[in-house]
Structure 1
């Protein structure tokens, strides 16, 4: 026997189409207000089913994202965050990342921006491998980057 697995959304759509077909065909002989009431009830049922389906899909995706978050936090022990100050305002994340990658592994770069204007503030944070952090600080602190002398230090823990 051949078993075909259809996605739940497709099954729900087919069921709604069948319900709508039979409801509308049986009501076509009746007056317009009865037709409107019938179609409204079909819409309510359809929305209810879609809410159930979408909420189950959301629960599944949140479980997947929680699994991914727990997997990513396992590797965060070997990541150090460096504060980088006196950056040129024209520098973007990619350029800073490329500069730091010359000295070791770089996980991410966050350059701070003014919330109101969207302009860069001239400092940011670089997440790097723990084994390369100290050598990056020694080599990059007080070094020239795009005609500016940058400051590189271990980042302080964020106070809540």
Structure 2
């Protein structure tokens, strides 16, 4: 399962997101979709962690938290349809 992270700063990098989530466990992967035309981060991303417990801890701690000047929206990612 993966975690959806919304309302990200457009200046965020994979390393920034990895560092923020590493406090709650092992980060397996980070994906930051970019705009095809501008190449700029689209303001959301996905983080995959090693265990369900780590994901839950990260969601509980970071949902609504201010980070890089923005209030994060963090929850379980919904499967693609």
Q: Distance in 2 between matches of 1:138 and 1:125?
A: 16
Q: Distance in 1 between matches of 2:54 and 2:11?
A: 26
Map 1:137-156 to 2 at 5 A. 137-156=59-78
2:79 counterpart of 1:157: yes
Report runs of 4+ in structure 1 exceeding 3 Å deviation: none
Aligned with residue 37 of structure 2, among 102, 111, 116: 116
Greater relative contact order (CA < 8 Å, ≥ 6 in sequence): 2
Aligned with residue 126 of structure 1, among 24, 44, 47: 47
What is the TM-score when the length of structure 1 is the normalising length? 0.49
What is the TM-score when the length of structure 2 is the normalising length? 0.93
Larger Rg: 1
* Structure that is richer in strand per residue: 2
CA RMSD between the two structures: 0.8
Residue ranges of structure 2 left out of the alignment (5+ in a row): none
Q: Following TM superposition, by how much is the alpha carbon of 1:117 offset from its aligned partner in structure 2, in angstroms?
A: 1.2
Residue ranges of structure 1 left out of the alignment (5+ in a row): 1-79
Deviations 1:33-71 (A, max 9, x none): xxxxxxxxxxxxxxxxxxxxxxxxxxxxxxxxxxxxxxx
* Structure that is richer in helix per residue: 1
